[in-house]
Structure 1
Amino acid sequence: MLTKPLLLLLLATVAPTSQNCDKYGVLLYDDIGCSPSTASPCPTEYFCNLTRPENGCTFKGQPLYPGQDIGADLTYSGCEIGCKCEDFNFIRCATLDCPEETFEEDECYNVYELGRCCATGQKCNSTETCVVDGTEYKLGQKFYPKNECLTCVCHEDFNGEFDEKTCQKSNCNVQVRFTEELTKKCAPAYFNFHSEEALCCPDTFVCPDKEDFIKVVNFEAETDSGLTCDFGVEKLKLGEGFSRMVNGYGKDRSLGCECVMPPLVTCKEVY
């Protein structure tokens, strides 16, 4: 007797009481090892050491001596391996270009594991799935929950929660890719094709320019809070900012920059 395969659909949910702080760009500060203020539900500022060390490097809040290797467990999920401190706060890595296998039949696909950049194998004829934000994922497939800075993998015990077995915070390796920009206290910039809300790994950084016209851009911000953002040698109050045009991924992009979450200014693409 023919029987239909069992199709397991697991729906992802987020507790309605949880506050998503990713919309303020906090992932960047977590990635470089900053300490948050004690304010809740989200920090009001982070405390970061952005000073270039006299020798060696700083990576995710930890000092490194010249020639010291960085463990792959800290960088591999961000698609960099073989990282080493080269002194003057320069970290050299090999960037992974994963050889993804392609399949002629839809029944087969690449599978992944948490904390690993490249596919770890292949799977065929899987009938169990996870459904997240209305999209169905097969066992072993990666997914990225809407408006969250999470990298997740569908597994057979998935119960709809983005727990440690299912997800990890996305790894930006910002201090590998933008070492000089961080030292100069440039502003992380986010292009809007990633997400409507969450500001995860920055696409680029915007550094000070003599043509920048700094003014109040958000009249609802608490400008008298005493909190300020560094932008090069300038200090901007909450709600102060500027506009900038940059070219990224083959097109010109208009950015609105504002002091939102100190110590750095945050730039977002605007229409």
Structure 2
Amino acid sequence: MKAVVSFVMLVLGSVSTDMAGECDMAGFYTELGCTPVPPEGGALCPDSFTCPDFQPDPTKCYYKGVAYDNGATLPQALISNPCSLACGCAVFNGEPSFSCAAVDCVEEFDNDMQQQCISTFELDSCCSTGSVCGKDAIAQLKTCEVDGKTYHEGETYQPKNTQKTCLCTADFNGTVSDTYCADINCGLEIHYQPDLHKNCAPVFVGSKRSCPIGFECQTTKTKVVRGLNIRNLTSQCTFGNMTMTIGDEVTVDDNCTKCTCSVPPFVTCVRKNSCDSTTL
């Protein structure tokens, strides 16, 4: 069985219920170094964020505010992502972006054995670092009961209302510990730098508290559909060279994707796994 690993960056952190796990777009903005605008009434979730200039010099790549020239390589220690290796800045047709070596995780079992094996991981590993096979051997592993699900020692899980990945260990005592957890970081500046520079909209599947699967960008067909700003907020979204207020939508070619100004400054797109051919 061959599994192509998506780019998920892991950075150690706490596992308590947090803004990134509770609030739409909070994880996205926090990763980009944006600052939340305090909501009125002491609410947990911000209505909008203030973001830095992602590309002060249009001829250079930027990562965490540091500029990289064409051909420069990102230090691996700064990336903190075992699935992103040998990432470097490349300028093609005047557009700077990072490119990284592809990482494929390959697990090879025959069909019979595959049903009797579990893959085991380390918290800082991209691919599985081992496997346990056979019902008797699996039965000897410690288990972790989290959010109504059972995980075996060496397996990973994401606690409810957090933006974190945790490792089930033999030390598990019923309480999720930050010792065995890491923040989920999507590698946005590395893998989507041109989209960020062009004020494109991240596309999420279902939840806006996960990593985006891609971006929607402005085209010659893009139109703004004015909506209702029920909260009467003044913050605005930017989509390409268009500006809109909260509640406005932008049209995209995919009928299964709806793009709305909901948590500025980025427009947010949500794609359904299934929908009819004409409406979301």
CA distance in 2, matches of 1:171, 1:162: 19
The aligned residue for residue 94 of structure 1 is 101
Q: What percentage of aligned pairs have identical amino acids?
A: 28
1:1-12 aligned at under 5 Å gives the runs: none
The aligned residue for residue 28 of structure 2 is 28
Contact kept, 8 Å, 1:241 with 1:259, in 2: the verdict is yes
Distance 1:144 1:26, change over 3 A: same
Contact kept, 8 Å, 2:99 with 2:191, in 1: the verdict is no
Contact kept, 8 Å, 1:48 with 1:263, in 2: the verdict is no
Distance 1:38 1:70, change over 3 A: farther
Residue type at the aligned position of 2:225: K
Is there any run of 5+ residues in structure 1 with no aligned partner, and where?
1-13, 247-252
Is 1:122 aligned with 2:122? no
Indicate which of 204, 213, 236 corresponds to 1:203: 213
Is 1:53 aligned with 2:67? no
Is 1:144 aligned with 2:158? yes
TM-score by length of 2: 0.74
Tell me the CA shift for residue 38 of structure 1.
4.4
Contact kept, 8 Å, 2:120 with 2:131, in 1: the verdict is yes
1:124-203 aligned at under 5 Å gives the runs: 124-125=137-138, 126-146=140-160, 148-192=162-206, 197-203=207-213
Q: Summarize deviations over 1:67-97 as a string: whole Å, max 9, x none.
A: 3322334446362111122355321211210
Contact kept, 8 Å, 1:25 with 1:199, in 2: the verdict is yes
CA distance in 2, matches of 1:256, 1:49: 26
SS of equivalent to 1:77 = coil
Q: Summarize deviations over 1:6-56 as a string: whole Å, max 9, x none.
A: xxxxxxxx868x656554122222333333334452333131323362443
1:250-265 aligned at under 5 Å gives the runs: 254-265=256-267
Q: Summarize deviations over 1:123-162 as a string: whole Å, max 9, x none.
A: 4434311122322110110112345432221122334555
Q: Summarize deviations over 1:210-244 as a string: whole Å, max 9, x none.
A: 33332344553x23x22111101111111211343
SS of equivalent to 2:145 = strand
Tell me the CA shift for residue 184 of structure 1.
0.8
Distance 1:58 1:142, change over 3 A: same
The aligned residue for residue 222 of structure 2 is 212
Contact kept, 8 Å, 1:148 with 1:198, in 2: the verdict is no
CA distance in 2, matches of 1:53, 1:159: 50
Is there any run of 5+ residues in structure 2 with no aligned partner, and where?
1-14, 273-279
Residue type at the aligned position of 1:260: S
CA distance in 2, matches of 1:212, 1:226: 23
TM-score by length of 1: 0.77
Tell me the CA shift for residue 261 of structure 1.
1.7
Tell me the CA shift for residue 264 of structure 1.
0.7
CA distance in 2, matches of 1:172, 1:94: 16
4+ aligned runs moved over 6 Å, structure 1: none
CA distance in 1, matches of 2:218, 2:68: 28
CA distance in 1, matches of 2:169, 2:24: 30
Distance 1:183 1:20, change over 3 A: closer
The aligned residue for residue 249 of structure 1 is none
Contact kept, 8 Å, 2:34 with 2:49, in 1: the verdict is no
CA distance in 2, matches of 1:175, 1:20: 18
SS of equivalent to 1:230 = strand
Q: Summarize deviations over 1:156-177 as a string: whole Å, max 9, x none.
A: 2334555432322222112232
The aligned residue for residue 4 of structure 1 is none
